Amino acid sequence: MPAKSKKQQMAAGAALSAKRGERSKASLRGASKSMYVSMSEEELRKLAKVKRKKLPMRNRSAAAVRKKGSASRGKRSR
Residue 6 has what pLDDT? 86
Is 31 within 8 Å of 12 (Cβ atoms)? no
pTM: 0.68
> Where are the chain's structural domains?
6-71
Q: What residue spans of the chain are helical by DSSP H?
A: 6-19, 30-38, 41-48, 60-71
pLDDT per residue over 29-67, tens digit each? 999 999 999 999 999 999 888 887 777 777 766 555 556
Q: How far is CA 39 from CA 10, 33, 45, 67, 77, in A?
A: 15, 10, 10, 29, 45
Whether the CB-CB separation of 9 and 3 falls below 8 Å is answered with yes
pLDDT for 77 equals 62
Diameter of the chain by CA atoms? 58
Amino acid letter, 38: S
pLDDT for the residue 74: 60
